[in-house]
Structure formats: C-alpha cells, structure tokens
C-alpha cells in the first residue's frame, strides 16, 4: 500500500463540530418571515374512490391562505421508470392506501393548518381492499389498479443453467418458505422542507438523501427548466433509503402553495405520518429450493419471491431486480432460476431500504444452506468455505468480482475465541447461549438503470484553501469526511484546508444520489480526478518556474518540491497564490467525473453488474435465549468486513455497527402490525427499534482486498452488515434452541410456541 | 380559557422573561421563541429523546413539558455546553470517537450524557447504557456513543 498522509487515517468527521454544538441546521430548523405552514388531509379508507372534495369550510377558516387537492396537479404522476408513473402528489380519483394524502392546506401557523384539514369534506365510495399479496394474486381478488391483472405491479425472471437437472443430480434437495418483516427505515428526523417560489423559480430546503431526485420531479411536475429549480441541502437526519430518496406530497404542495401565495411555505410530517404513510421495506415471502451434493457443494437454487408492494410502484422494479441478480453471490451457483413478483395491495407503499432487496433472499439462501449442511453433518464454517467464491470470479449472470475477502473473513472468524470456545459457553437453563455464523455479499457503487456517473469540481482559492463542490449527499454515513480526505490526499494538503460545499443544485454538479453504497466509490473517484486536475495545473506552473518536469513536482504536507532537488521547495499556499496571480484572469478549477458506473446491464434478464464492486461480510453473532420467556439478548457481534480498503477506519467501523443494529431490530423486534391496511402501532413505543440496552458489543475486523475499481482500493462499507446480521442471529438462535426460524422477526412468542411444539413432539 | 402568562427562567446562563400561552410546549418555546434550534423534534410524543434538555438538573423530554413549567427554572440546551469556542469534554469526545453520524439525536444524546456524568462521574458501561436508554439513535448502533461518553468521563475526571 502506498504511504498516504490522509487516506486510511481515523480522521474525525468534518461535520462533527457543528453536530455536537447544535449549529447544524436540518430542514425543520429553517424558517423565514411570513412563512406559512402546510398540512395534509389524509384518507380514512385504505381503498376508495374520491367522489367529491369540498374545501369551502377550510378556506373560510381565519388564517388559511390556500387549499389544494389532487386536481390542482392536472394528472401529473411520477414513478421510478417511465412506464411505472402511477403516483400523484395528491390522490385525485382514488386512494390506494390508508392515510394517503388527498388535499393540503397552507395557513399562518401549524395549528390552523391542522384544524383546516379537518374541515375538508371528502365524499368517498369505499372499495373492497386487498391486503395479503398471495390473496391479491388470485383470480377474482379486488384490483388496486383496474388495468393491472392479478395486481402484479412488477415481475422479474432469471433463468440460468438447468435447475431441474441440478436438483435431479443432487444428493439432497430442500424446499422452505421464508418471510421477512414489515419494517421502516427509522430515521429520527421526520421529512420536512421549506419552499419558496419567486421570480427566480423554486428554491427548496428539503430533507433529501438524493436531492437530484426531487430536483427532477419538481421540474417535471411544474414544467420548469432545471435551472429554475434550486434544491439546497440542509443537514439530513438519517435516510436509509426509500422516503428520503424520493419526493413527497409535502414537497409538491409546499411549492404550489408558495406560487399561489408568494410566501415561503414549510411542512414537517409528524412521526405518526412517518410510520403510517412513508415508504417501508418490502415484506417478502420467499419459496426457496436448493440442491446439494453430499460434500456440501451447492448444485442449484430456485427462488420464488412474492413482495407486498402496497398502493404504488415507487422503486419496486429495482427491488425485485436486486432480490435475484445478487443471489449468485457470494457462493458458487452453477444453476439458478428466479421468479419475483411485486404485488399491489392496499397497504402503505414499499420501497428501498438499506440492504435493498438483497437482505431478503440472502437470508433465505443462507439459512437454507446451513439447514442442509446440518442434515449432511457439515460444519457451518466448512459449508461456507466449500462454496465461497474466490476472486476473480464471474457468476452465471455475468457479475464480475475482482476482489473477495469472504474466505479470509470466515477463516478469521473461525479462529476467533467466540467461535472456537462456543461449546464451553452453552449456558444453563433457563438461559441458553448460541453462536451463529453468516457469509454474505453486497454491491457498492450502484450501477443500475440510467446515468450513474458522478461529477466533482475543485476550486483553488488564492490563499491555498480549496472549495470542493459535489452533488453527493452525506445523510449521516460520513461521506463528506471521506470525500474531503480524498481531495486533501491528492493535493498534499490537510482536511482543514478543504471546504466541502453541500448540495445546492444551482452550483454543485448533478449526482445520482446516496443509495446503493455508491458515494465513496463513485463520488470518491470524481473527487480524486478533480483534485488531480488542480494538482496537475499547479505542477505545470511550478515546473515552469523551477525549470523542472511537471511529473517531478511533489505535493505533500502542505509543501511543494521537486523530486531529487529538495532545495526547490515552497509552501503550498505560496504556490497557489503565485499560480492564481500568474496571468490575466488565471482561474484554477479542477473537474472530475467517475467512469466506474457507466457500464450498461440487462435489466430485463438480470445479466451484468449491478455494482461497480462487491463487499463481503462474514459475521459471528452470540445470543442468550431465555427458554422460558423466549426473550433473546444479542450479546456479541464480530463482523469481518471486506470493504477493499477502509479510507477512514473509524467511520467504516461505525457504519458496520449501525447497519448491524438496524438489522438486529428487523431480525428480533421490529414489525408493523397491520389490520385491513391499518397500521396498529404507528409510534416508537409499540414499533420497537433497538435502544442502548438491547445492543451487543460489536467488534469490526477489516479484511483488506484492495479492489481495482475503487479509489485507493475502496468498496462499500455501509450495507454489508445489514445483510450479514439476520442470518447469523437466526443461526445463533438455532444453536441455542435447536430450532430453525424462517420468519422475521423472531419474536419471543414465536420462540416459546416453537419450543412448546418441540417438547410436545418429543413427549 | 386560560390566559398567556409571563414566565422567568434562566437558559444557558442567560435570564429570560417571556409571555407564553398555556398550551405551548417547552420545546416550542426553545425552538421557536428563543430560536435555539439545536434541540430537535423527532416524535413529539416523548418517545425518541431528540428533544432532551436539562431542567432543574434533570433531563426532560421538552416536547412533553409545558413552557409554563419552566417558570423559575434553570434550563440547559445543547447550545449552552461549549465555553465560547471551547467545546465541552463530552462534545469533544463525541467528535473524537465518532459518537454521531447524522447528528439528529446528538443534541439530546449529549444532554442525557451530561446529566448522567453530573450525577455519576464514573459510570460503568451498563450505567451509561441505562443513562441513554431514553434516546434513540438509528445510525450508530450505540457502540461509539457509549465509548464517547466513557472517554469523556475519563477526561472530566482529569485523566485521559
């Protein structure tokens, strides 16, 4: 490894100080004189026709400035693909899930706006609803969209090799049904924005992890050129995919209200609105069939996936794609058939969430593989090492892996005392101790449909300080810090010398967004190239002054010198000043863009790379299971994560820890309780996210593989552990109880019932 | 109908007199009347801990406390911790040990940590976990928050 001065160091976050002092401003912290508040009126039905909306009483309430309904958007709809545009800013003729927004009010304060929403009279004709995806697929089920047969929102099929032949030639074939839960991303900052529409167009301060989505949506909705839509990025209070990667009723209504009234307009959803109406992870049923030889070699796999999509399509096609295209990692799979169905129901909309699509099918495959290994008497370490891919590798669907730390990770964990001494720690009744293992993969530098390249601009100031402009968003993951490190490293200066300009679509280069673990890999590459562009311009200038070759100019520790002639040296800021003053209007500006993300894949057949590179995460989880109450306490996690090369190790640890605990929530506790489309637990007491008392000690081990397609060898670091945690925890519960649980969350009730059943069987 | 009332209180060392309506919450008063937006509103129902401030030496969820209850009280918010440019050791420690990611829970988390260390300068790991058990964090998984508080306790005791 090269000797870097900034890269690879445990550098504190560049946004740390403003976040611990309370100075960091989030969307809800913005307010302006004369500002109005916007509130939504929401449907009391999960499925109904809107017959008429009478807004007259609301309009007459003192303090109300404007009211809008779905008709005010003239039928405009948006969606992830041109053919899936099925969601309007407000429902105009039909509501498809409970609490879908049907109208909105702008008023002088929040209370008045809220009161006015209750005065809006909507006549509905209630329609029969459908709430179970398998029921919704049957002939004769109520249709969520009249033209969509069997409520199939999206289907995706892959067929490689010959699974039937593979199963015939297997020594063992298993079929199981798995299910993943109904969970939400769980950011604590509710969606909010302040919008202003004046002569210069729309300016909006919005809580978005991918601000260029709403930028395009607003331009399309209001038929404005993109240079009349300015999205300015506040600090973002967590994203995790889904809602903050998309637009909301509030965004469109706040803009329209501002145009109508000439005032700035603000909205902020409350937590009940978040938990009832914002996008959730897809609840998926996975029918999985796997074939295996006596020696543990996997011969083939067939998966049938049914996902509850809710009332609109959103980003669902990509979710379905990811459930299959990533199944060919991280184990050798010569034959694979995949049939995925996303089904419309009258439940809230399902969309992306950290570990997108992959966490579902990998959970099923990983548990099933271990169940089969158990039947064949093969140890959990051996079964994984037997099937693990090694780099370089190409899967049957042409996913190409250039670096892979899976085997090394599993071997490292197998040597860990937590694994080696597991028999000694079994515990005594009523508390049994269990240890589980997993080995998983995730994509980084998402390479999906559409344009995925990132741009960067680096501007040198005459005093040697640097402005770095990026369209990439740090919604908490720490990318601002890593990207500043990249610029500083390339220019031989300190992180303090670089100021990152947060997204302002009027100034920063367009960027696809923060999803698919793409920022470090793609925006990082762009930052690297833009910084090198500035450095090269400076080197040329310095070489001329010193009569040297530009290639011999070295930038390090804020000094510039000529290789081999240490007497020819000057401080970086002096060179910057001289270069900036060197001619009339000397402007030193660097441009860079990423090239990694531009290869095209076959989205219909599931062929090609969905990522630029692939991370590999192996995990040991230890749990205590109370055999009387069914209560599970995760005690220790050890995560061996191959992110290629950690550019900021403390940040990589933090990402792994956070992902693992988010995954622990969905494995053990988190689940929306639903009844006829109604969310019964829309609050943070009854919807149970992990608190500090619930979480284990977590150790993170970096497995270094230096991927060729990442800046300084880096791959993704924020999503791997949300895939590796559920199977390892479920495997640990099996180790403690002898029972395989195939449905998340594995609640105490399920454990008690299963233990009772097991006892009865024995008796 | 109850009328608005004038209240007096000290916030972050500064005395204030303010007329508040009976239904105004302490959180609204802090964020809107005083424009101290460091204190966050997450759930508005006393569940998430993002709005935690210290009043009368104890942490409160300011979204559940009426502004009128602040009459005669001393309140500390996240803006009151640093001494000018010099960060409080807990703030310093959160920066050094990556005790925050998105930063939304951070002000409330730090206030809970401060109240804990004011009472118990040498908390065990379990006591730290209990001390922040009213504050959700969705980003960190808590490990680095606990390490930050533990390291701050060492610094505040004079060690390192």
Mutate which: B97, B100, B139, vs A, most A CBs within 10 A: B139
Residues of B in contact with A12 (CB under 8 A): 95-96, 98
* A–B CB contacts, 8 A cutoff, strictly below: 167
Contacts of A602 (CB under 8 A, 6+ apart): A608
Cβ separation B103–A24 shorter than 8 A = yes
Contact B104 A237 (CB under 8 A): yes
Residues of B in contact with A19 (CB under 8 A): 100, 103, 106
CB contact under 8 A, A692 and B146: yes
Residues 6+ apart with CB under 8 A from A522: A445, A452, A453, A454, A512, A594, A596, A597, A612
List CB contacts of A496: < 8 A, sequence separation 6 or more. none
Burial string for A563-576 (b: 16+ CB within 10 Å, else e) reads eeeeebebebbebb
How many angstroms separate the CA atoms of A704 and A646, rounded? 8
Interchain proximity A692–B101, CB inside 8 Å: no
**A684 CA to chain B: closest CA distance, Å?**
6
* Interface contact flag, B82 A698, Cβ < 8 Å: no
Residue A448 lies in a domain: no
Angle at B45 between CA B39 and CA B47, to 5 degrees: 80
Residue A464: which domain range? 454-594
Residue range(s) occupied by CATH 1.10.150.120 in chain B: 89-156
Query: Do A482 and A621 share a domain, yes or no?
Result: no
Q: What is the 3-state secondary structure (H, E, C) of chain B?
A: CCCCEEEEEEECCEEEEEEECCCCEHHHHHHHHCCCCCCCCCCCCCCCCCCEEEECCEEEECCCCEHHHHCCCEEECHHHCCECCECCHHHHHHHHCCCCCCCCCHHHHHHHHHHHHHHCCCCCHHHHHHHCCCCCCCCCCCHHHHHHHHHHHHHHCCCC
Q: Are residues A435 and A461 in the same domain?
A: no
| Among A15, A190, A661, beta carbon nearest to B141 | A661
| Shortest CA gap A420–chain B (Å) | 25
Residue A117: give its domain's CATH number. Answer: 3.90.1170.50
CB atoms within 10 A of CB A309: 29
User: Where in chain B is CATH 3.10.20.30?
Assistant: 5-80
A68 lies in some domain: yes
User: Does A157 sit behind a cis peptide bond, omega within 30 degrees of 0 on the bond before it?
Assistant: no
Task: Report phi then psi at A701, rounded to 5.
Answer: -115, 125
Which conformational region is residue A128 in: left (phi greater than 0), alpha (psi within -120 to 50 degrees), or beta? beta
Q: CA–CA separation, B102 vs A13, rounded Å?
A: 11
| DSSP classification of residue A522 | I
Task: Give Cβ neighbours of residue B158 (< 8 Å, ≥ 6 apart).
Answer: none
Give the integer Cα–Cα distance in Å for A340 and A358: 13
B146 in contact with A, Cβ within 8 Å: yes
Of residues A187, A238, A657, nearest to B141 (C-beta) = A657
Look up the CATH superfamily of B89-156: [2Fe-2S]-binding domain (1.10.150.120)
For Cα atoms B100, B106, B112, give the angle at the middle one, nearest 5 degrees: 125
Residue of A285, A318, A344 lying closest to A141 (CA atoms): A344
Q: How far apart are CA A460 and CA A555, in angstroms?
A: 15
Strand partners, A641: A617, A702
Same domain, A220 and A288: no
Q: Are A640 and A618 in contact (CB under 8 A)?
A: yes
Residue A155 lies inside a defined structural domain of this protein = no
Q: Chain A: nearest CA to B69, how far in angstroms?
A: 21
Spatial strand order of the sheet with A559-562 comes to A553-556, A559-562, A565-571
Residues A655, A649: Cα–Cα separation, whole Å: 10
Report CB contact under 8 Å: A12, B39. no
The rounded distance, in Å, linking the Cα atoms of B108 and A189 is 13
- Give the residue from chain A lying closest to B142, CA to CA: A692
CB-nearest to B103 from A31, A476, A689 is A476
Task: Let me know whether A118 and A254 are in one domain.
Answer: yes
Domains identified in chain A, total number: 3
Residues A336 and A467 in one domain: no
Looking at the structure, do residues A567 and A618 belong to the same domain, yes or no? Answer: no
Q: Which helix (H) or strand (E) is A385 found in, with range?
A: helix A380-387
CA B2 to chain A, closest CA, distance in angstroms equals 17
Nearest to A684 among B48, B94, B110 (CB): B48
- Residues on chain B touching A23 (C-beta within 8 angstroms): 38
C-alpha A269/C-alpha A681 separation (Å) is 17
- The tally of CA atoms less than 13 A away on the side-chain side of residue A584 is 0
- Chain-chain contact of B98 with A20 (C-beta, under 8 angstroms): no
Cα→Cα distances A177→A35, A36, A260, A342, Å:
53, 51, 53, 17
Tell me the CATH number at A555. Answer: 3.30.365.10
Are A120 and A53 spatial neighbours (Cβ–Cβ below 8 Å)?
yes
Measured in angstroms, the CA of B110 and the nearest CA of chain A are apart by 8
Contact indicator for A212, A332 with CB cutoff of 8 Å? no
A chain contacts of residue B50, beta-carbon cutoff 8 Å: 188
d(CA A516, CA A210): 11
Which residue, A107, A126, A123, A124, is CA-closest to A40? A107
Cα A175 to Cα A170: distance, rounded to the nearest angstrom: 13
Residue B147's closest chain A neighbor by CA? A697
CATH topology for B5-80? Answer: Ubiquitin-like (UB roll) (3.10.20)
Spatial CA neighbour of A183 closest among A340, A341, A317, A360: A360
Mind telling me how many Å the CA of A476 is from chain B's nearest CA?
3
Residues A388/A330, Cβ–Cβ less than 8 Å: yes
- Using a CB–CB cutoff of 8 Å, tell me whether B61 touches chain A: no
Residue in B with minimal Cα distance to A26: B104
CA-CA distances (angstroms) from residue A303 to A284, A288, A502, A511?
12, 5, 42, 34
Task: Count CB-CB contacts under 10 A for residue A761.
Answer: 7
Nearest CA distance, B57 vs chain A (angstrom)? 20
CB A78 within 8 A of CB A129: no
Residue of A189, A651, A654 lying closest to B104 (CB–CB): A189
Say yes or no: B24 contacts chain A, CB-CB below 8 A.
no
Per CB-CB distance under 8 Å, the chain A contacts of B136 are 188, 684, 689, 691
Summarised one tens digit per residue, pLDDT across range B85-126 is: 999 999 999 999 999 999 999 999 999 999 999 999 999 999
Say whether both A42 and A105 belong to one domain: yes
Burial (CB count within 10 angstroms: exposed 0-12, middle 13-18, buried 19+), residue A646: buried
Rounded Cα distance, A739 and B18, in Å: 62
Q: Does B41 touch chain A (CB under 8 A)?
A: yes
The rounded distance, in Å, linking the Cα atoms of A192 and A183 is 21
Q: A475 and B39 in contact by Cβ < 8 A?
A: no
Residue A237: list chain B partners with CB under 8 A: 40, 102-104
- Spell out which residues of chain B touch residue A239, defining contact as CB-CB under 8 Å: 102
Within-domain flag for A143: no
Closest CB to A188: pick one of B42, B45, B146: B42
H helices of A9-76, in order, are 16-21, 56-60
CA distance A234 to chain B (A): 11
Q: How far apart are the first and last CA of chain B?
A: 56
Q: Is A756 helix (H, G, I), strand (E, B) or coil?
A: helix
Mean pLDDT, rounded, for B143-154: 98
A251: left (phi over 0), alpha (psi -120 to 50) or beta: alpha
Q: Is B104 on the interface with A (CB under 8 A)?
A: yes
String of DSSP letters for A445-465: S---SS----EEEEEE-TTS-
Q: How far apart are the first and last CA of chain A?
A: 61
The answer to whether the CB atoms of B143 and A697 lie below 8 A apart is: yes
**Minimal CA separation from A617 to chain B, in Å:** 17
pLDDT score for A596: 76
CA distance A16 to chain B (A): 5
B136/A17 Cβ within 8 A:
no
Residues of B in contact with A729 (CB under 8 A): none
What three-state secondary structure class fits A661?
helix
For A581-650, the DSSP string reads TSSTT---EEEEE--GGG---BTTTTBS-SSSEEEEEEEEEEEEEETTT--EEEEEEEEEEEEES-SSHH
Is A188 close to B136, i.e. CB distance below 8 A?
Answer: yes
Quick check: B18 pLDDT over 80?
Answer: yes
Q: Is the peptide bond before A430 cis (omega within 30 degrees of 0)?
A: yes
Residues of A whose CB is below 8 A from B110: 20
Task: Answer yes or no: is A502 within a domain.
Answer: yes
Residues forming beta bridges with residue A462, ordered by sequence position: none
Q: Within an 8 Å CB–CB cutoff, is residue B127 touching chain A?
A: no
Residue A176, in any domain of the structure = no
Mean pLDDT by 10 residues, chain A (763 residues): 88 98 98 97 98 98 98 97 96 98 98 98 98 98 98 98 98 98 97 98 97 97 98 98 96 98 98 98 98 98 98 97 97 98 98 98 98 98 98 97 98 96 86 97 84 89 97 97 98 98 95 92 96 97 96 96 94 96 85 82 92 97 97 98 98 98 98 98 97 97 96 96 98 97 98 96 82
Buried b (16+ CB within 10 A) or exposed e, A218-254: bbebbeeebebbbbbbbbbbbbbbbbbbbbbbbbbbb
A219 and A122, same domain (yes or no): yes
On whether residue A180 sits in a domain, the answer given is no
Which among A235, A660, A684 has the least Cβ separation from residue B141? A660
A271 contact residues in B (CB cutoff 8 A): 42-45, 47-48
Is residue A84 within 8 Å of residue A147, measured between CB atoms? Answer: no
Whether the CB of B40 is below 8 Å from some CB of chain A: the reply is yes
A262 CB neighbour count, 10 Å cutoff = 12
Give A13's contacts in chain B (Cβ within 8 Å): 95, 98, 100
Q: Which residue of A has its CA nearest to B33?
A: A31
Q: Is B12 on the interface with A (CB under 8 A)?
A: no
Residues A454, A512: contact at Cβ < 8 Å?
yes
Q: Are residues A571 and A620 in the same domain?
A: no
A220: left (phi over 0), alpha (psi -120 to 50) or beta: alpha
Residue ranges of E strands in A161-282: 172-179, 192-198, 201-206, 229-232, 265-268, 280-281
Which residues of B fall within a CB distance of 8 Å from A24?
103
Return the DSSP state at A562. Answer: E
């Amino acid at each position: 490894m090269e000797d870097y001065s900034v890269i690879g160091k445990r550098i504190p976050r560049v946004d740390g100080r403003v976040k611990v002092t309370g100075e960091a401003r989030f969307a809800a912290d913005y307010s302006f004189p004369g500002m109005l508040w916007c509130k939504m009126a929401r449907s009391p039905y999960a499925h109904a026709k809107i017959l008429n909306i009478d807004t007259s009483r609301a309009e007459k309430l003192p303090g109300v400035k404007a009211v809008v309904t779905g008709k005010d958007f003239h039928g405009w709809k948006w969606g992830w693909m041109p053919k899936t545009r099925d969601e309007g800013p407000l429902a105009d003729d039909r509501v498809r899930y409970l609490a879908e927004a049907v109208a909105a009010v702008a008023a002088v304060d929040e209370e008045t706006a809220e009161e006015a929403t209750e005065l809006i009279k909507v006549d509905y004709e209630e329609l029969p609803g459908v709430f179970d995806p398998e029921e919704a697929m049957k002939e004769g089920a109520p249709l969520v969209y009249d033209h969509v047969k069997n409520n199939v929102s999206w289907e995706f099929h892959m067929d490689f090799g010959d699974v039937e032949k593979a199963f015939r030639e297997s020594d063992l074939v298993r079929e199981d049904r798995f299910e993943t839960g109904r969970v939400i991303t769980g950011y604590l900052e509710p969606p909010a924005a302040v919008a202003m529409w004046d002569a210069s167009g729309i300016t909006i301060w919005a809580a978005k992890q991918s601000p260029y989505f709403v930028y395009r949506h607003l331009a399309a909705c209001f038929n404005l050129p993109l240079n009349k839509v300015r999205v300015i990025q506040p600090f973002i209070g967590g994203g995790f995919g889904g809602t903050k990667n998309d637009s909301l009723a509030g965004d469109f209504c706040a803009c329209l209200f501002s145009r109508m009234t000439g005032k700035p307009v603000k909205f902020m959803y409350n937590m009940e609105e978040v938990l009832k109406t914002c996008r959730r992870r897809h609840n998926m049923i996975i029918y999985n069939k796997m074939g295996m030889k006596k020696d543990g070699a996997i011969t083939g796999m067939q998966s049938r996936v049914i996902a509850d999509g809710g009332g609109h399509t959103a980003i669902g096609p990509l979710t379905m794609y990811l459930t299959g295209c990533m199944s060919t990692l991280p184990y050798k799979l010569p034959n694979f058939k995949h049939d995925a169905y996303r089904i419309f129901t009258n439940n809230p909309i399902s969309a992306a969430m950290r570990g997108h699509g992959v966490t579902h099918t990998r959970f099923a495959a990983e548990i099933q593989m271990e169940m089969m290994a158990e039947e064949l008497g093969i140890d959990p370490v051996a079964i994984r090492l037997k099937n693990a891919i090694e780099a370089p590798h190409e899967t049957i669907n042409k996913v190409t892996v250039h670096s892979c730390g899976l085997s090394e990770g599993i071997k490292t964990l197998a040597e860990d005392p937590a694994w080696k001494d597991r028999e000694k720690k079994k515990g005594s009744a009523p508390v049994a101790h269990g240890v589980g293992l997993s080995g998983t993969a995730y994509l980084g530098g998402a390479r999906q449909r559409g344009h995925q390249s990132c741009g960067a601009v680096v501007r040198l100031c005459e005093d040697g300080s640097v402005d770095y402009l990026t369209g990439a968003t740090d919604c908490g993951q720490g990318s601002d810090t890593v990207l500043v490190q990249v610029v500083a490293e390339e220019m031989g200066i300190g992180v303090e010398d670089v100021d990152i300009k947060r997204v302002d679509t009027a100034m920063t280069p367009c960027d696809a967004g923060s999803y698919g673990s793409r920022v470090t890999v793609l925006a990082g590459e762009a930052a690297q190239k833009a910084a090198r562009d500035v450095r090269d311009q400076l080197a040329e200038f310095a070489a001329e002054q010193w009569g040297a070759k530009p290639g011999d100019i070295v930038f390090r520790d804020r000094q510039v010198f000529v290789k081999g002639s240490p007497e020819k040296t000057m401080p970086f800021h002096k060179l910057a000043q001289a270069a900036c003053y060197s001619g009339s209007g000397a402007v030193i500006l660097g441009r860079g863009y990423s090239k990694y993300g531009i290869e095209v894949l076959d989205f219909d057949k599931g062929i090609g790379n969905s990522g630029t590179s692939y991370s590999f995460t192996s995990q040991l989880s230890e749990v205590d299971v109370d055999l009387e109450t069914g209560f599970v306490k995760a005690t220790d996690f050890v995560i061996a994560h191959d992110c290629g090369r950690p550019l900021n190790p403390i940040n990589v640890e933090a990402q792994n820890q956070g992902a693992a605990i988010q995954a622990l929530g969905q494995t053990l506790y988190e689940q929306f309780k639903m009844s006829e489309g109604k969310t019964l637990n829309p609050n943070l007491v009854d919807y149970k996210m992990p608190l500090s008392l619930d979480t284990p000690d977590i150790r993170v081990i970096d497995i270094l593989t230096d991927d060729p397609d990442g800046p300084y060898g880096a791959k993704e670091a924020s999503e791997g552990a949300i895939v590796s945690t559920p199977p390892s925890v479920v495997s640990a519960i099996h180790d403690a109880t002898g029972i395989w649980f195939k449905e998340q969350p594995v609640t105490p009730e399920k454990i008690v019932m299963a233990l009772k059943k097991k006892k009865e069987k024995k008796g | 109908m109850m009328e608005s009332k004038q209240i007096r209180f000290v916030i972050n060392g500064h005395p204030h007199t303010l007329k508040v309506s009976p239904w105004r919450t302490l959180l609204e008063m802090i964020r809107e009347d005083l424009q101290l937006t460091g204190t966050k509103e997450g759930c508005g129902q006393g569940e998430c801990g993002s709005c935690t401030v210290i009043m009368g030496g104890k942490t409160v969820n300011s979204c559940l406390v009426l502004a009128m209850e602040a009459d005669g009280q001393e309140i500390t918010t996240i803006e009151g911790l640093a001494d000018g440019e010099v960060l409080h050791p807990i703030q310093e420690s959160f920066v050094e040990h990556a005790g925050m990611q998105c930063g939304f829970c951070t002000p409330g988390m730090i206030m809970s940590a401060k109240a804990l260390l004011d009472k118990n300068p040498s908390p065990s790991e379990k006591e730290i976990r209990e001390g922040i058990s009213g504050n959700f964090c969705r980003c960190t998984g808590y490990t680095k928050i606990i390490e930050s508080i533990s390291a701050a306790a060492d610094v505040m005791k004079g060690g390192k």
